[in-house]
Structure 1
Amino acid sequence: MDRMKGKVCVVTGGARGIGKAIVEKMAKEEATVVYALDMNEDALNELENAYSNVKGYVLNVTNRENIKEFVELAKNEYGRIDVLVNNAGITADALIQKMEEDAWDRVINVNLKGVFNMTQAVVPLMLENEKGSIVSISSIVGEKGNIGQTNYAATKGGVISMTYSWAKEFARKGANIRVNAVAPGFILTPMTEKMPEKVLNSIVEKVTLKRMGKATEVADAVFFLASEEASYITGHVLSVNGGTIL
């Protein structure tokens, strides 16, 4: 169980839900260090206490200065970042007629520009070392759309487009930098668990496997793409949705 041994990993939105599952998976697979980046300091402290190779760092992916400081810290401590997982994301749902401009801006800034900010800051270090793996979290909503999620769908579709572009861009001149995305379907997280049972049941009806996904199942897919087991995979979107039909 050492498929991430020796790796320096960074996971945004790493304190809860899918992000936490990704951090735990990489920590258990003996990464040298997993930097869990999040706004939730208490949850980060819990992760640090549970795993000796996890380092929590309070970071807002919309704050470019904050990101620059973090990358400098990682560079000074380890000289490299091997894996970047762009997971941080928010929702602010509404039908387009009722969607406030602020709700559009907030979701775009975190889910789309935040992925741009992190990747732009980290990739020079990967290019310097001529290797690295970037995995960004998209969504089935980015592939198929969803009622009341114009802003969220736009960001997650944008993540897919950036993934394709970066896979081409970062592998130029022979650099071994792979860029992929994972598009989860409906996953049981602290956020979805608060949904009414009636809503959850209607979601499950649309899933071929007739159940919600688990955060660990998304983490396994992310881990695969981040690891050397996926050494010949780049510019790919892996759908982890149980056969969901929207």
Structure 2
Amino acid sequence: MILRAWQSFLSRFRAPVPPVDDALWRQAVARVPLARALDAPRLHYLRQLSALFLHTKRFHALGGAELDAFWMLVIAMQASLPALPRGPKAFKGWTNVLVYPGEFNVKRSHHDARDGVVTERDDTLIGEAWDRGPMVLSLSDVKLDVEGPWDGFNVVVHEMAHKLDMLAAPANGVPPLLPGMNRREWIATMQGAFDALVKQVERGRHTAIDPYAAEAPEEFFAVTSELHFSQPALLREAAPKVAKLLASFYGPSPAG
């Protein structure tokens, strides 16, 4: 089924999708434990999706970032991991990947409808995903995630989770689900776990899940997606129902 869907998708391109160079692929797999831990069929499909990602996305090195073919492939691989169950459709709706050397600043404006006051602030970020816009990444944090793959953090997975969330509507923590998954169950489970985390954070309690997940339901989905891929045991202990849902949504975690 996956092979037929892949062939059907590739038939839409007038020019074939260039394959990933063998030597470069071996080098990347050796350096990226999340990929190395996959079984042979999923690793083979990851290579195909990574090639498609590189073919359809435009990389832009900003602020002096040194971005070569190896690191573009590493980003493509980690963005393709959450896409494995749904294939090329996961990459719809956006084109550009902006890569800074490290943290970057984003200016935010907020309009208070009650009093009409507009306030501005600068946020320092390591990653961001815009609806119908680019994925923005800190290269230094991508490198940290490669060196520490099982610590519960992965900026590319986090931003790709947002992109999946945005496939049908603005991000709200309820991405388009796979056939057979129950939308009501997803909403009830994720919202219940999010509400419980918010209460813990408001009471000043220590939380196993990063408190940033309490910012909004869409951030809860993205943060727990990071845990699914890089620290699933912690997620199973902290939110077992969420862990089970994400295993159905993404497939088995490379971390076991």
TM-score (norm 1): 0.27
**TM-score between the two structures when normalised by the length of structure 2:** 0.26
Compare relative contact order (CA 8 Å, sep 6+) and give the higher one, 1 or 2. 1
